[in-house]
Every structure is written in C-alpha cells, then in structure tokens.
C-alpha cells in the first residue's frame, strides 16, 4: 500500500543522494523551502506537475518514489 510516509522516506532518500542541495532543488522547481519542508515531513504532497519535475531533477522514476518498484 502506498502511504505518505513511504513517499516521504523515498523522497528524502532521493534528495540526500542528489548532487543538488534542497535549496537548489527548490529554486529549480520554483517552490519555497517551507514547501519542500512540508513534503519531507509528510504534511503535504507535491502537486502532480511538481512531483513529475522532482522526479526529473532527482533522476528517479515516479514508480520508485511511489514504491511501485525497488
């Protein structure tokens, strides 16, 4: 089952493994750091377009972030 906690954990892991800082990712996506903080805390999820762009920036598949693949 897909849960916010699982998405949050995968997103956090992908950001840690990225060559970009959180601030750089925020600038690239046009979001504010508090918004990213909400994603990483599990308080909210990104909009679909932001989610797709996050996948591109982090070079991970949506299936990976959604735990549909390992």
Whether the per-residue pLDDT at 3 is higher than 90: the answer is no
What pLDDT does 28 receive? 94
Locate 63 and state its tokens: 């299936």
* Burial of 21 (C-beta count, 10 Å sphere; 0-12/13-18/19+): exposed
Whether the per-residue pLDDT at 70 is higher than 80: the answer is no
Closest residue by Cα to residue 63 from 52, 31, 43, 26: 52
Gyration radius from the chain CA atoms: 11
What pLDDT does 24 receive? 96
Closest residue by Cα to residue 38 from 30, 46, 26: 46
Whether the per-residue pLDDT at 32 is higher than 90: the answer is yes
């Amino acid at each position: 089952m897909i849960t916010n906690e699982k998405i949050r954990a995968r997103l956090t892991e992908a950001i840690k493994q990225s060559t970009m800082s959180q601030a750089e990712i925020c600038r690239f996506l046009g979001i504010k750091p508090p918004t990213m903080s909400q994603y990483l805390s599990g308080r909210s999820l990104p909009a679909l377009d932001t989610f797709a762009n996050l996948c591109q920036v982090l070079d991970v598949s949506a299936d990976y972030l959604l735990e549909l693949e390992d």
